[in-house]
Amino acid sequence: IADFQMIDNSIKDIINESLNSMVVLPLRMSYRMVECCNLLDMYQPQIGFVRIAPLSGRGFVVEKRKLAANDIPDVYLNLTLGNCMHKTATIPNSLEPEWNDQVASFLLCNYDQCLSVHAWDEDRASLYADDDLGVGVVTVGELLLAGGTQELSLRSDGQETGAYVSVNCA
């Protein structure tokens, strides 16, 4: 039954939809969809490791609260490359945080992999959840072409936040 063209196309469409929702670089899954395709020709080894170091941030603002004292952000970052994530230490009460000597190593499979830098304001009180300060995204290739260091503009809900984070790649 699976050899019927209509059923075969439906199976391929279902597999494609499932893979598009799950597979993110560096994860790969091979499935022969064309008979003439050689799976060995599809293999691409990892390039190596990339070390990402967050350097500093600027442009963060004090959060004005109605019922409590104003909040100077306690900034931490979630660095994500592929399916791996690294959380930095929290820099308390700083509008211009600096992450000294904090380096995260990631497996690099492709220079087009996106590095996502997500800034958060840690709130220790149970009344408030951690505040989203924005996300900056750059590919590893763009970062390396920029000399290894780049300042990323943070965006939240599609809008510029006015905050920036500098990262270094080696």
Alpha carbons 82 and 114: distance in angstroms, whole number: 7
Average pLDDT for residues 155-169, to the nearest whole number? 92
What sections of the chain are H helices per DSSP? 5-22, 39-42, 140-145
- Residue-level pLDDT at 2: 57
Nearest to 166 by CA among 154, 112, 62, 133: 154
Confidence (pTM): 0.72
Q: pLDDT by residue (tens digit) across 19-76?
A: 666 655 555 566 667 777 776 666 667 788 899 999 999 999 887 777 667 778 899 9
3-state helix, strand, coil in the chain (%, to 5): 15, 40, 45
Residues 104-158: tens digit of each pLDDT:
998 888 888 899 999 998 887 656 678 889 999 999 999 999 999 999 999 988 8
